[in-house]
A and B are shown apart, each in its own frame.
Chain A
Amino acid sequence: MPADLNLRLGLPGSDQTDVDAAKSNKRASPEKAEDTASNGVPAAKSADDHETAPAPKAQIVGWPPVKSYRKSTAAAVKKAEAESGMYVKVSMDGAPYLRKIDIKLYNGYSHLLTALEDMFKLSIGEYSEREGYKGSEYAPAYEDKDGDLMLVGDVPWEMFMSSCKRLRIMRGADARGLGCAQ
């Protein structure tokens, strides 16, 4: 191969002449097909470490390489998911049978807790990060994806919705460990 080959990362025409290729692990972002400079060479966007947050990636033509009939299926699946409920079992310590609720129907923790209070005829009280559900005999807990028992209210609502596998209303002594003052 000719010796005058200029080996470097990044596309020709970019400002980024990165001699030490080994160190740099960020490359010019891939471009949309339409996005070309006047000389016809795809312009390089330099993605350097000074950006505070990564810019949302532009939709690249033909990427990811999924055939079009699959894309519409994926969209349909998403839609179906969005329309279907997110039912989880709710148990209460001491109750003879469980209930099931669709957590998609609730727009936040207070909404959910009010509904639970209604359903089981009890009072749960206010959440505080420091003290959990202080003043209440009950603590609402949930089992997450990893199988751990967690106190309801610690994580953002969206995250809770996607990680909650079942709900458990704990009471009395058991509840103490979850931040409920007695």
Chain B
Amino acid sequence: MAYSFPEEVLEHVFSFLSSDRDRNAVSLVCKSWYDIERWCRRRIFVGNCYAVSPEIVIRRFPELRAVEMKGKPHFADFNLVPEGWGAYAYPWIAAMAEAYPFLEEIKLKRMVVTDESLELISKSYKNFKVLVLTSCEGFTTDGLASIAANCRHLRELDLRESEVEDLSGHWLSHFPDSCTSLVSLNMSCLGSEVSFSALERLVARSPNLRTLRLNRAVPLERLANLIRRAPQLVELGTGAYSAEIRSDTFSNLADAFSACKQLKTLSGFWDVVPSYLPAMYSVCSGITSLNLSYAAIPSSDLVKLINQCQNLQRLWVLDYIEDSGLDALAASCKGLQELRVFPSDPFGAEPNVPLTEQGLVSVSEGCPKLESVLYFCRQMSNAALIAIAKNRPNFIRFRLCIIDPQAPDYLTLEPLDTGFGAIVENCKELRRLSMTGLLTDRVFKYIGSHAKKLEMLSVAFAGDSDLGLHHVLSGCDSLRKLEIRDCPFGDKALLANAAKLETMRSLWMSSCFVSFGACKLLAQKMPRLNVEVIDERGPPESRPEGCSVERVYVYRTVDSRQRLDRPDFVWTLDEDSSLRYS
């Protein structure tokens, strides 16, 4: 066209668009914009590795520099997805090694990554900078050694919460002396001891180091020397925070901390000896994020620490904080945005600490900016939930876990429907909700009517009938991820809302009442959905008609081929409803 901008100009304009949504919108304007955009897109995010194939991605986006991807569904964190289900990174790594020699960043979550993949990464990309593996598994410290040895310009190595087979701590010594580019190192999930002198030298020669998260094996006595070499640190994860009580260790540590003027985030704190906590007091006024979720610290010591951290925005803590500690938090930390309280004794039948719904009520009252909560407790009432909802209509994430899965309102013995109903009604911006307790179809009616911005819903042991599921699928306009376990939901609601499933990333249902017949019908109706029946008892069609499948995982995909990496307990169903299994 005579009046169209030259490609270079459009490319330049597009370079200001960083959000995927904006870039996707731009691609839809016309064919030439689609073409220009795809050549200049540098970063992609794939929310489900099976929604698309490496070939399709590479064909569309030939010049990527950064890839972020997620694999297993969220419930895999709680052992609900059998071992060997899938989410292998290797096919992606291998395909990208050929297609993207200039790739710089790989971020994976809940995927199986092998040493082979890590070695391939370390050798294929000359300018590789960032490797983040969140909740991944399948690799050993040998794979880490390859990365350390070969990635000359490595900036980030972050292994958060991954399960690594820890053969030795020797991998760290593979960083060459010439490597001075490190900005972030997170090795907190590793078990074995690394060479402390190698670690100190690495830290000393990394002037850009902002994030250092040590593992438990780094003793407190070593911490002072490490942070002295990196006073520019912004995020620090300690190792074990215990040592014999000695005044020289203490003053050494306190000195080292006082030099860290930029410190904003603290984590680690395994095996805490409370007497050493005051060594950190000098940095506390600048701390915005504190993760004490591994620390068994009595409430009184926690309160003393929290009172020092007036600017706290995020706190992760064990229920040792008790209701009284949460009262103190509500009084001290008026800028608090996120609170997570984890159970110290998740499998104990009786409460081991005085932490109840009251703590959450206090914090919701006292902290006007609180928008994200994950709270484990052993009792809840509708009155408390209603109070919380009225106090904090600005919640974005509300995840409540009552340890007893079908616990009613402990005061009235009624279901907790009205309480959660109040949450969705008052918190109009709610994007994520996890519910527990005694819940009937009524709560789902409330959710369907009010939770219009809800994107992710987690449900367990709730509801009475298919109506519950139907309310959610038909009412929640923004729903992207729905995960359900042990609920009496079945075929009718699923089939009646089949079209909805294509507007979502995925649906997980385990231990519900979905029959194999319904799965086949769904697959037939919706060709762009993959319907996976995950059942370890053998071929589903060999069971009686109407029998429920153990698990079904439904997700939209543009990759029309069946998964080639299916294990023998996964059956995928395609359009003509013929059973395909390996």
Q: Contact: B513 with A1, CB < 8 Å?
A: no
State the CA gap A163–B440 with chains docked (Å): 38
- A65 an interface residue at 8 Å Cβ cutoff? yes
Determine the chain A residues whose CB is within 8 A of the CB of B294 once the complex forms.
Answer: 73, 77
Please tell me which stretch of A8-16, A110-118, A134-142, A148-156 contacts chain B, meaning at least 4 of its Cβ atoms lie within 8 angstroms of it. Answer: A8-16
Q: Do A65 and B77 contact each other (CB < 8 Å), given the known contacts A11-B488, A77-B318?
A: yes
Give B338-359 interface residues, CB cut-off 8 Å to A: 342-347, 349, 354
Please tell me which stretch of A56-64, A90-98, A122-130 contacts chain B, meaning at least 4 of its Cβ atoms lie within 8 angstroms of it. Answer: A56-64
Determine the chain A residues whose CB is within 8 A of the CB of B486 once the complex forms.
Answer: 30-31, 42
Q: Which residues of A contact B (CB under 8 A)?
A: 1-2, 5-9, 11-12, 21, 25, 27, 29-31, 33, 39-42, 56-57, 59-71, 73-74, 77-78, 80-81, 145
Determine the chain B residues whose CB is within 8 A of the CB of A1 once the complex forms.
Answer: 466-467, 470, 492, 496
Q: Least Cβ distance of B459 to chain A in Å?
A: 12
Determine the chain B residues whose CB is within 8 A of the CB of A71 once the complex forms.
Answer: 346
Please classify the interface of chain B as helix (H, G, I), strand (E, B), loop, or mixed, using the class held by over half of its residues: loop
Determine the chain B residues whose CB is within 8 A of the CB of A56 once the complex forms.
Answer: 349
Q: Do A62 and B492 contact each other (CB < 8 Å), given the known contacts A40-B547, A73-B294?
A: no
State the CA gap A21–B414 with chains docked (Å): 11
Q: Contact: A67 with B161, CB < 8 Å?
A: yes
Closest 3 CB pairs of A and B: A62-B78, A40-B547, A77-B296
Q: Contact: A42 with B511, CB < 8 Å?
A: yes
Q: Chain B: how many interface residues by the 8 Å CB criterion? A: 58
The residue on B at minimum CB distance from A68 is B79
The residue on A at minimum CB distance from B458 is A65
Determine the chain B residues whose CB is within 8 A of the CB of A33 once the complex forms.
Answer: 511, 550
Q: Do A40 and B544 contact each other (CB < 8 Å), given the known contacts A27-B406, A61-B80, A68-B79?
A: yes
Give B537-569 interface residues, CB cut-off 8 Å to A: 537, 543-544, 546-548, 550
Number of A-B contacts (CB under 8 A): 118
Q: Do A69 and B161 contact each other (CB < 8 Å), given the known contacts A60-B405, A61-B80, A78-B344?
A: yes
State the CA gap A8–B440 with chains docked (Å): 10
What would 13 A/B residue contacts be, using CB atoms closer than 8 Å? A1-B467, A6-B465, A7-B464, A7-B467, A27-B406, A30-B461, A33-B511, A41-B548, A62-B78, A66-B346, A70-B346, A78-B345, A80-B271
The residue on A at minimum CB distance from B403 is A64
Determine the chain B residues whose CB is within 8 A of the CB of A30 once the complex forms.
Answer: 405-406, 461, 486
Interface centre among A9, A33, A62 (most CB of B within 10 A): A62
Q: Which residues of B contact A (CB under 8 A)?
A: 75, 77-80, 135, 161, 163, 189, 270-271, 293-294, 296, 318, 342-347, 349, 354, 376, 401, 403-406, 408, 413-415, 434, 438, 440-441, 460-461, 464-467, 470, 485-486, 488, 492, 496, 511, 513, 537, 543-544, 546-548, 550
Q: Contact: B488 with A12, CB < 8 Å?
A: yes
The residue on A at minimum CB distance from B402 is A64
Determine the chain A residues whose CB is within 8 A of the CB of B461 once the complex forms.
Answer: 30
Q: Least Cβ distance of A177 to chain B in Å?
A: 28
Determine the chain B residues whose CB is within 8 A of the CB of A81 once the complex forms.
Answer: 296
Determine the chain A residues whose CB is within 8 A of the CB of B405 once the complex forms.
Answer: 30, 60, 63-64
Q: Least Cβ distance of B134 to chain A in Å?
A: 11
Determine the chain A residues whose CB is within 8 A of the CB of B345 once the complex forms.
Answer: 74, 78
Specify which of A9, A31, A40 is in contact with B464 (CB 8 Å cutoff).
A9
Q: Contact: A62 with B485, CB < 8 Å?
A: yes
Interface centre among B293, B404, B485, B496 (most CB of A within 10 A): B485
Q: Contact: B354 with A145, CB < 8 Å?
A: yes
Q: Least Cβ distance of B406 to chain A in Å?
A: 5
Q: Contact: B543 with A59, CB < 8 Å?
A: no
Q: Least Cβ distance of B411 to chain A in Å?
A: 12
Q: Do A64 and B79 contact each other (CB < 8 Å), given the known contacts A31-B486, A80-B296?
A: no
State the CA gap A117–B465 with chains docked (Å): 66
Determine the chain B residues whose CB is within 8 A of the CB of A66 once the complex forms.
Answer: 78, 342-343, 346, 376
Q: Least Cβ distance of A161 to chain B in Å?
A: 13
The residue on B at minimum CB distance from A25 is B413
Q: Contact: A41 with B547, CB < 8 Å?
A: yes
Q: Contact: B346 with A40, CB < 8 Å?
A: no
State the CA gap A9–B406 with chains docked (Å): 13
Q: Contact: B438 with A65, CB < 8 Å?
A: no
Q: Contact: A5 with B492, CB < 8 Å?
A: yes
State the CA gap A80–B511 with chains docked (Å): 36
Q: Contact: A5 with B466, CB < 8 Å?
A: yes
Q: Least Cβ distance of A9 to chain B in Å?
A: 6
State the CA gap A63–B470 with chains docked (Å): 25
Q: Least Cβ distance of A150 to chain B in Å?
A: 17
State the CA gap A132–B167 with chains docked (Å): 61
